Amino acid sequence: MGAGAAAFCLLILLYSFVIQEDYRREWRHMGQLYPEIMQLTPDAGTDTLLVIRRRCLRTSRCSPPERAARPSTFRSTDCS
């Protein structure tokens, strides 16, 4: 019984490293994404709300954003 519990604890410990790497990867991705968003929306102010569809961020099917009527509004044709 003791060997089984030790193996289970080891498995949980190793899986925690997988989870930590996922957090690191997402942190790097967000660190690259936010400056790009700031460049694409230069007229955004302190009380501006930006809505981002995460599904479109993760897939490569989304076409490049097209400019809409307002400078801070973007449309992506494939991400609806």
Q: Which has more pLDDT, 27 or 64? A: 27
Q: Please check whether residues 6 and 36 belong to one and the same domain.
A: yes
In the predicted model, is pLDDT for residue 78 greater than 60? no
Q: Please check whether residues 36 and 69 belong to one and the same domain.
A: no
The model's pLDDT over 11-63, given as tens digits with 9 standing for 90+, comes to 999 999 999 999 999 999 888 888 888 888 888 888 888 887 766 555 445 55
In the predicted model, is pLDDT for residue 70 greater than 60? no
The CA distance from 64 to 78, in Å, is 9
Phi and psi torsions of 61, nearest 5°: -75, -20
pTM of the model as a whole: 0.47
Q: Can you point out the beta strands (E) in the chain? A: 66-67, 74-75
Count of structural domains within the chain: 2
Q: Please check whether residues 49 and 72 belong to one and the same domain.
A: yes
Token pair listed for 52: 């981002």
Q: Write the DSSP symbol of residue 64.
A: P
Token pair listed for 53: 């569809």
Q: Are the beta carbons of 50 and 44 closer than 8 angstroms?
A: yes
Q: Please check whether residues 32 and 50 belong to one and the same domain.
A: no
What is the span of the domain harbouring residue 54? 45-80
